[in-house]
Amino acid sequence: MKLETIAWPGSYGDQAKPRMGFFTDTSVCIGCKACEVACKEWNQIPMSVQGFTGHSYDNTIDLGANSWRHVAFIEQRKPVDADGDGSLSQVAARASLAEDQGLATYQEGDGIRWLMASDVCKHCTEAACLEVCPTGALFRTEYGTVVVQEDVCNGCGYCVPACPFGVLDQRQDDGRVWKCTLCYDRLKDEKEPACAQACPTNSIQYGELGELREGAEHRLAQLQHAGQREARLYLADDDDGVGGASAFFLLLDEPEVYGLPPDPVDSRRELGSIWAATAAAALALGAGLVAAALGGRR
């Protein structure tokens, strides 16, 4: 397990703190949205009324400048046979009841599975937002997290399409970008982030990243052992496209079902080839100019 980032802990020397993060265990999320509320309250985030979406109980829609935690709600018509009970005919009967008769009462055993998950900025090991930020407003803290300095950001917007998770966004009427700070201010006072403190089921766990990862492995083993074959850890490894992340997740389906990219990659990994193509194109333009100016009689 390699937790280092480019700037952490190296650039902090003695001042470096352990790398802190979130482990969001979605298998125990009850969709109460206490995390969303606690985050808004503590960080004094402006209201964001988006109207009724019809996306189950989700009217927050996505992460953005004014939503730093977002609880996703997914309703799936599939039998939940974690315990292995129910014969094939029972399962089929339930499924046909739900599909043919339109009976979906959201009671246990109706063949409806409800997934809930609290999403947040991942604080990637290789953070594209931080790398493309031209002003240095985005920086790596002593806790290994990624934070926007609101007094430096000039609202250029480069980090917005650079983030492979679509976390950052520009705040209308303010012009700057905003995102989760992993409660940088609270961490400095050795308090846990507001969302983690508010979570009633410990779905959001806060702690040292190394310890969180160890605990998550045991939780995954426990769920797999109990028959939850679809349980998986997301962003828990150093060798994925962003080098792992400070905020990682236990999911019960494919990442895209939760609105998460299945194979996010920090675009900087290709930046060498991008600069090479850019330089080659600049030289080609130079050659074209010379050919046009010197070719012909005059």
Partner 1 sequence: MTDPGPAAEPARSYHGQPVIKEPVWTWEIPCYFFTGGLAGASAGLAYLSERRGNEVLARRAWAAALVGATASPILLISDLGRPARFLNMLRMFKVTSPMSVGSWILAAQGASTGLVALHAWSGRLARPAALARPAAALLGLPLSTYTAALVANTAVPVWHESRGLLPFVFGAGAALSAGAAAVAVTPPRHAAPARRLALLGAACELGAKELMERRLGELGEPYRQGPASTLGHVARACIAAGAAVLATRGASSRAAAVAGGVLLGTGALSARWSVFKAGFGSASDPRYVVGAQRERIAAGQTPGAARTAPRVASPRSELGSPATAS
- Token pair for 295: 């070719």
Provide the 10 A C-beta neighbour count for residue 25: 25
Which residues, 65 to 124, sit near partner 1 by CB under 8 A?
A: 72, 74
Judged by CB under 8 A, the stretch of 90-98, 105-113, 189-197, 290-298 that binds partner 1 is: 290-298
CB of 96 to partner 1, least distance (A): 23
Contact between 207 and partner 1 per CB under 8 A: no
State which residue, 188 or 229, has the beta carbon closest to partner 1: 229
Contact between 208 and partner 1 per CB under 8 A: no
Identify the CA nearest to 42 among candidates 145, 188, 193, 144.
193
Contacts of 85 (CB under 8 A, 6+ apart): none
Please spell the DSSP secondary structure of 18-77, one letter per residue.
PPEEEEEEGGG-----HHHHHHHHHHTPPP-------BTTB-S-S-BTTBSEEEEEEEE-
Which residue of 132, 194, 196, 198 would you call a contact of partner 1, by CB under 8 A? 132
Which residue of 7, 16, 104, 271 would you call a contact of partner 1, by CB under 8 A? 271
CB of 57 to partner 1, least distance (A): 12
Which residues, 13 to 32, sit near partner 1 by CB under 8 A?
A: 25, 27-28
Q: Write the CA distances from 108 to 82, 98, 138, integer angstroms.
A: 12, 12, 45
Contact between 198 and partner 1 per CB under 8 A: no
- Rounded to 5 degrees, what are φ and ψ at 27? -70, -15
Contact between 254 and partner 1 per CB under 8 A: yes
Which residues, 140 to 159, sit near partner 1 by CB under 8 A?
A: 152-158
Contacts of 30 (CB under 8 A, 6+ apart): 116, 200, 201, 203
Which residue of 16, 37, 45, 61 would you call a contact of partner 1, by CB under 8 A? 61
Contact between 235 and partner 1 per CB under 8 A: yes
- Angle, CA 204 vertex, CA 200 and CA 206 arms, to 5°: 115
CB of 227 to partner 1, least distance (A): 13
CB of 100 to partner 1, least distance (A): 23
